[in-house]
Amino acid sequence: GWRHDTETATCISNSPELCPGKRFTLTGHPSETLNREWQVVSSVLAGDQPQALHGSGGQGTTLDNHFEAIPADRTWRVPPQPKPSVDGPQSAIVTGPAGEEIFCDEHGRVRFHWDRYCPGNEDSSCWVRVSQAWAGAGFGNLAIPRVGQEVIVDFLNGDPDQPIIMGRTYHQDNRSPGSLPGTKTQMTIRSKTYKGSGFNELRFEDATDQEQVYIHAQKDMDTEVLNDRSTKVRHDHTESIGNNQKITVTTGQTVSIGTKKEGGHDQSITVANDRRITVRHDQTLKVTNDRMASISHDDGLYVANDRKVTVEGKQEHTTTGDHISLVKGTHSLEVKGDLARKVSGVLGIKVRNEIVLESGGKITLKVGSSFVVIHAGGVDIVGPKINLNSGGSPGTPVGTLLPGVLEALMDEDNGQASGGEGTGDGRGPDDSGEPDDENKANLQSLRFAFPGADSSVKTMSWLIGQPYKISDSKGNVLVSGTIEQSGRLPRVMLDEPDELTLMMGSEEWEVEDLALGNDDTSSDDAAYDDEGYDLVNDPYYGKLEQDEQWPSDADINELLNNYAEG
């Protein structure tokens, strides 16, 4: 078929019937190879009609048929016509369904308006490929043109059947990010939240002395590094976290701050609320110079095993309030030099067993101008007057302080939790608050009680569970809590006589002065302070003797006699 024009005969005839497609047989030609059947493939007719021209009537009408023919046994096809070509790219608007911002297929192809009669929807055109900055098998750059964006459409080899989107442009209705020409020094990659107004952005600022790389994440930002990561900041580094921060280090962590021992090479940590540090193994803290800790409230230290403190210089310890030390085992103190103790008040030492004082030199006890010296040569007693076996009585030793911290430690020995419920006055739940017998004579005590036996409280059920507080004359709350089922209130111990106030109830405290009636006092009240106190004179004894928890007469008399003898 491609060689159909290799044997072509050009002929002239006056027969108009020899038109393209007509076959004829040639005979009588001198060349026998040409005497064969031929097929006309083209024909050009040219004729003259002189009669139609003025003054040319002497000639007849002529017709010439210039035609081409090929052998009839050859296959002949019409030469293909040239395909239409599109000259240059065109602009188009990306289309999609109503209300949709991104419309594409699995290959990232989009559609755009094709002609003037296009409705501008998802059926506007065929799927059209989009040229990307980088495209590979599963990698590269991908930015899908969105509905309404203007794109530049070109055609491969000018073929209108092979459109491809080569670029995108901004215009009046499709403005660029930033505010040009003011932001002309910025190179920006900004996306847009799908069906929203947010965006993610990567921006490069190239203004002189204002160079900057800016990253904006509309919501979350995740970074994954499969191996090492290095960050180097040659000046300041500031981080602001609006909520929580969590850092997990699987192996080790090293933090180095500062290069010189001078101001500015410091570290400051401020925690608005609590701070907890958990070290599951050893911890070492090394401070080359000074270390100071300031605690505005309580400080607690718990060591499950041994603790060792070594001070190579001088150690000073100042306690504004009480200093309490509880040693459950043996307490040993060794002083290489001198030991001096100065007590502004009374010094009391109580030992349940023996006291042994051993000195390599001498032991001196001195009061005023009187003193006792014990040395290896004997005992010297010097004083204005020396009394031996002439009566007198020993002094009262100072009682050992037992605040809540020691009682909590004692409760641990008894199997109770150190944070157990107390009475609100620093005593444990099983501590009656009574002082030692030897100290009762020097303390003042008061216990509020309801009239009658404890069983009478059951008739006043409205009292149970009511809050109460006991205050001194200065308004200081000594004891507070709620009334228990027994109706009993705790005993308050005082160093000096004072006026106490008991208030009960959950509403606002309103103090009201009540006038005492004739039945509210007893003429025998003075018996409490008189020597030779007799239980019979107690005006409340008759009411309390029915109480099962009230001690017997023999117990009370024995206790009072012990006070009198002491």
Determine which helix (DSSP H) or strand (DSSP E) holds 542, and give its type and residue range: helix 541-544
138 and 161, same domain (yes or no) = yes
In a domain, 445, yes or no: yes
User: By CB neighbour count within 10 A (0-12 exposed, 13-18 middle, 19+ buried), where does 86 fall?
Assistant: middle
Tokens of 292: 């100071």
In a domain, 346, yes or no: no
Domain that holds residue 488: 424-508
472 and 538, same domain (yes or no) = no
- List, for residues 14-51, the tens digit of each pLDDT value: 999 999 999 999 999 999 999 999 999 999 999 887 77
In a domain, 295, yes or no: no
- The Cα–Cα gap between 145 and 142 comes to 10
pTM of the model: 0.52
Q: What is the pLDDT of residue 41?
A: 92
Q: Which of 121, 154, 173 is the last residue of a domain?
A: 173
- The CA-CA-CA angle for residues 316, 318, 319, to 5°, reads 150
In a domain, 534, yes or no: yes
Q: What is the CATH number of the domain that holds 466?
A: 2.60.40
23 and 68, same domain (yes or no) = yes
* φ, ψ (nearest 5 deg) of residue 151: -125, 160
105 and 156, same domain (yes or no) = yes
467 and 433, same domain (yes or no) = yes
In a domain, 119, yes or no: yes
Q: What is the pLDDT of residue 497?
A: 86
439 and 472, same domain (yes or no) = yes
72 and 36, same domain (yes or no) = yes
490, 423 Cβ separation under 8 angstroms = yes
Type of residue at 257: I
- Residues of the chain under the 50 pLDDT cut: 1, 402-405, 408-409, 412-413, 415-441, 519-533, 535
Q: Which of 508, 537, 558 is the last residue of a domain?
A: 508
- List, for residues 86-132, the tens digit of each pLDDT value: 989 999 999 999 999 999 999 999 999 877 777 888 988 899 999 99
Nearest by Cα to 160 from 81, 83, 80, 82: 83
Q: What is the CATH number of the domain that holds 130?
A: 2.40.50.230
Tokens of 7: 């044997």
158 and 104, same domain (yes or no) = yes
Report the b/e string of 31-56 with b at 16+ CB within 10 A.
eeeeeeebbbbebeeeeeeeeeeeee
498 and 544, same domain (yes or no) = no
In a domain, 317, yes or no: no
Chain-centroid distance of CA 428 in Å reads 39
Domain count, the chain: 4
In a domain, 484, yes or no: yes
In a domain, 491, yes or no: yes
Q: What is the pLDDT of residue 247?
A: 93
ω before 181 within 30° of 0 (cis)? yes
Torsion angle in degrees (nearest 10) through CA of 401, 404, 409, 414: 100
Q: What is the pLDDT of residue 415?
A: 46
Q: What is the pLDDT of residue 101?
A: 94
DSSP 313-367: S------SS------SS------SS------SS------SS------SSEEEEEE
143 and 90, same domain (yes or no) = yes
64 and 88, same domain (yes or no) = no
SS3 of residue 444 by DSSP: strand
121, 127 Cβ separation under 8 angstroms = no
- Partners of residue 65 on adjacent β-strands: 13, 45
562 and 493, same domain (yes or no) = no
Could you count the other beta carbons within 10 Å of the beta carbon of residue 470? 22
- The Cα–Cα gap between 436 and 251 comes to 58
